[in-house]
Amino acid sequence: MEKFNPSYTRYCVCKEPVIGKDGAPVLDDTGTPKQRNIGAGCPKLKEKKHGKWSLYFELEAGENGDWRRVRRFGFATKDAAMKKAAELYREAVKGTDILSDATVAEDLDAWIARKKRLARTTTHGYEDHIRLYLRPHLGHIKRRDLKLRHIEPMFTAIERENAERLLHHARIVELTEARDAAHTAWVRASGKTEERRVRRRAYLDANAALREGSKGRRRITSANTMHRILATLKSFMSDVIKRGDYTKNWAKMVELPPVKKPTALVWTPERVEEWERTGQKPSPVMVWTPEQTADFLASIAADRFAGLWNGLIFRGPRRGEMCALPPSEVSLYSLVQYFRISAQVVEVAYRVYDEAPKQDSVRSVTLDANTADLWVEFDTTRAKEREAWGDAYVESDRFWVHEDGKPLHPDWMSRRFNRLVELSGLPPIRLHDTRHLSAALALLGGAKMKVVQARLGHKSFQITSDTYTAVLPRLLDNEAETTSSVVPRPQPGSPPASANGSSRDPGKCAADHAPLDPAKGPQVTLDEATDAPNEGFERVA
């Protein structure tokens, strides 16, 4: 590294009109007098506080022997320029390219273009974070200037935007209620010509106000999303540090409020009653009781995809895995009936893509007899539909298809399930919650945790254990009863529990429980076998 020998210069930013050779001011195309910097000739430079300071120093020559000069301008004092020069030199020693004018936005674009091995959904999430948050807040900053003081205000700004969006959402709710009230008044004015005309006009005005007020509506950025944005930024900075473009991962220094992972809760009678009263779910993740599950399965028994819903509830695959399941991976006519998960589809902006699942998710899942019968019935129906549709039938190489052979879309599957839940009259759960329900039912039936982990395709035993052990109250009730049963409970009037099965002499036992003489205090006897103090405890065989 070249010897650090900076120089500092004070310059003037004052301007004066440009004078031509004829002594008249020079005008631009609009007729406005042109201005020029006075520079070192400014007479006010003799004043201590007039002007600005600049810095200059040289780095070692580049690969081709090119000069590498560092210049910065605009410092209010010489001390500020000296402090900045020392900071720049330290960054250069660490390997930072302090001469680059590249911006964070350019580096983010280059980084996401290099990430070829990411899953499609992960790439889509990164792109959304860059487009909606990182580029607007950090994109204009030059690579060499990015610091912690730029990143922390980004999250403060997001919280401020959330407050504004909440007000906007509240306004939309008010406009929606006004529109609905106007529509009700219009309907009730049926038959009254003049009043009906007035009510209709009021409804149309309220509806137009709602459309206008809904413009620019944006979703609230949740705490979970802010943590994911920070994770994206950390990943970006870790990668570019390895390439030598940055020297410090400032994102690791950002602290956000902790986010508690939602806990799966069961729809107990008390929670169902509260939901019916308020319409609010106690947790984003809910599961049914076995009785509620039976009611749902009874309500969808005649549905075309009854086998699909049974498979999701009892075997717990992901919706993308079921949508991608090929007929060749379904064994229904052998001694052991099962299906093998070796493919999945992912949805990005409603477009569906085939994507290989993670290694831990490739697995074979056996079918229970009832579910297998429903799958055989669907397979028979599918064969008849293929014959009936003839050449118009779509050969999609999917087991679960519509009548014309077109494959199921993951979003359609979720919407169809939600509609069936609504028609059943049961409290709501999401389609993904059937995985939690499947695991909870298996554990309630006595299945081993390791078996449940393998069936669900979890990477680790800990994930399964942490997620599902406390879902159904019956599991906790069994544990509570098991723990309580360890302690014997003597009936009223029976000998003390400690005397039952004891090898000690009953008379001696009675003496041990005799009242103490206050004058003598507690008496400690010697054990006959060892001559050691005996404090009333028996040896355990």
Query: Any idea which residue has 């009242």 for tokens?
Result: 515
- What pLDDT shows up at residue 434? 93
- What pLDDT shows up at residue 467? 60
pLDDT in tens, the chain (541 residues): 557 888 998 888 788 888 888 888 888 888 888 888 877 778 887 787 788 888 888 887 766 667 778 888 888 888 999 998 888 888 787 777 777 788 999 999 999 999 988 888 899 999 999 999 999 999 999 988 899 999 999 999 999 999 999 999 999 999 999 999 999 998 888 666 788 889 999 999 999 999 999 998 888 999 999 999 999 999 999 999 988 888 889 999 999 999 888 888 889 999 999 999 998 999 998 999 999 999 999 999 999 999 999 999 999 999 999 999 999 999 999 999 999 999 999 888 788 888 888 777 899 999 999 999 999 999 999 999 999 999 999 999 999 999 999 999 999 999 999 999 999 999 999 999 999 899 888 888 888 888 888 888 877 766 666 666 556 566 666 666 767 677 776 777 667 655 555 444 545 444 444 544 544 444 444 444 444 444 443 444 4
- Residues ≥6 apart with Cβ < 8 Å to 471: 264, 265, 266, 287, 436, 439, 440, 443
**Residue range 201-223, pLDDT digits in tens:** 999 999 999 999 999 888 899 99
Residue 97 burial by CB count (10 A; 0-12/13-18/19+): exposed, middle or buried?
A: middle
CA atoms within 13 A on the CB side of 101: 3
Residue 98 burial by CB count (10 A; 0-12/13-18/19+): exposed, middle or buried?
A: buried
Radius of gyration of the chain (CA): 38
What letter would DSSP give residue 144? G
Structure tokens at 271: 């929670």
- What pLDDT shows up at residue 247? 83
Percentages helix, strand, coil for the chain (3-state, rounded to 5) are 50, 10, 40
Looking at the DSSP assignment, which residues form a beta bridge with residue 365? 339
Cα 378 from Cα 370, distance rounded (Å): 13
- What pLDDT shows up at residue 229? 97
CB atoms within 10 A of CB 535: 9
- Is CATH 3.40.50.300 the right assignment for the domain spanning 265-476? no
Round to the nearest angstrom and report the end-to-end CA distance of the chain.
78
Distances (CA, A) of 412 to 106, 419, 431: 38, 10, 11
> Residue by residue, what is the 3-state secondary structure of 308-342?
HHHHHHHHCCCHHHHHCCCHHHEECCCCCCEEEEC
CB atoms within 10 A of CB 348: 14
Cα 262 from Cα 254, distance rounded (Å): 23
- What pLDDT shows up at residue 48? 78
**Is 432 in contact with 415 (CB distance < 8 Å)?**
no
- What pLDDT shows up at residue 502? 47
Structure tokens at 380: 């028979």
Instruction: Give the start-to-end residue ranges of the domains of the chain.
Output: 7-99, 106-253, 265-476
Closest CA to 439 of 420, 415, 418, 458: 458
Cα 78 from Cα 72, distance rounded (Å): 12
pTM over 0.85: no
Cα 119 from Cα 352, distance rounded (Å): 13
- What pLDDT shows up at residue 497? 58
**Is 8 in contact with 86 (CB distance < 8 Å)?**
no
Cα 420 from Cα 210, distance rounded (Å): 30
Q: Give Dmax (Cα) for the chain.
A: 134
Closest CA to 405 of 393, 418, 415: 393
- Residues ≥6 apart with Cβ < 8 Å to 44: 12, 14, 50, 51
What letter would DSSP give residue 491? P
